[in-house]
A = this chain, B = another copy of it.
Amino acid sequence: MTEAQNPALEEADSHQLVSHEQHLAAVEAVLMVTEEPVTAKQLAAAVDVSEHRMVALLDQLRAEADGAAGGRQRGYELREVAGGWRYYSRARYAEQVSAFVLGDQTARLSAAALETLAVIAYRQPVARSAVAAIRGVNVDGVVRTLVQRGLLDTAGHDPVTGATLYVTTAQLLERLGLDSLADLPQLSPHLPGVEDLQEHEHPGM
């Protein structure tokens, strides 16, 4: 096997003679077994390099997969979403891939589901009644389905009314391909009292 040692790329404080290529491969190996986006910090701890170095490794892997380094463009891409890194199939092969992925992943989000998600995204943690008041319709069924699909999660109860409170999940961000909710374009001008909302913006994400 190739052991392309490149001292210039080693951590100065590394006491092991681990090659740059082995670090890249170790990151790939970890990303193969993760079930959600993994932060550079988590990866850095597992591979035993600095977080700064890990970001450089991840950037290189991303560029490689995209064919930027001269190799062929891969059928997968390494993306930074929901605060972490994860391999995804490349959108141009959606047709070939979709035969193998089931149900929830391909199901479209209805207008009702999207509006409900929008309200909860900006008002979280929030009770269903508050969402219903804004949307003007009962949202119980939609909310329950969204929880089952992992796009919403419960987050305790309203201290006064006892109503269950809901928050959006990292899976929603993944579904939208966003690193954080702040990446939604034109977040602020839409809504009143942006300052008030920001406290609630990312509970437990």
Contact = CB atoms under 8 A, between A and B. Distances in A.
Interface of A: 1-2, 4, 21, 24-36, 38, 42-43, 45-48, 67, 71-76, 87-90, 93, 96-97, 99-104, 107-110, 112-113, 129, 132-133, 136-138, 140-142, 144-145, 147-150, 153-154, 161-164, 171, 202-203, 205
A28 B71 contact: no
B138 A4 contact: no
A74 B150 contact: no
Identical subunits present? 2
A205 B108 contact: yes
6 contacts: A29-B90, A38-B100, A45-B100, A46-B99, A48-B96, A103-B202
A83 B34 CA distance: 23
B46 A103 contact: yes
A33 B89 contact: yes
Contacts of A153: 137
A5 B88 CA distance: 25
Contact of A97 (B46, B89, B113, B144): B46
B148 A74 contact: no
A40 to B, nearest CB: 13
A151 B109 CA distance: 24
Nearest to A104: B129
A2 B144 contact: no
A122 B4 CA distance: 47
Contact of A72 (B4, B90, B100): B4
A193 B118 CA distance: 36
Given A45-B99, A136-B148, A205-B108, A32 B76 contact: yes
Nearest to A158: B102
Contacts of A137: 147-148, 150, 153-154
Given A103-B42, A150-B140, A29 B205 contact: no
A109 B203 contact: no
Contacts of A202: 103
